[in-house]
Amino acid sequence: MHIVAVGWIFVVMLMTLAEATSTQGTVLGAFFTLLLYGVLPLGIVLYVMGAPGRAKARRAAAAKSAPAPETATPLSAAQGDTGSQAPGAGITPEREKP
**C-beta of residue 41 within 8 angstroms of C-beta of residue 49:** no
Instruction: Quote the DSSP letter at residue 2.
Output: H
pLDDT tens by residue, 35-78? 999 999 999 999 999 999 999 999 998 888 877 666 655 555 55
Residue ranges with strand state E in 2-74: none
For residues 13 and 1, the model is more confident at 13
pLDDT tens by residue, 20-31? 999 999 999 999
Residue 97: which pLDDT band, with cuts at 50, 70 and 90? confident
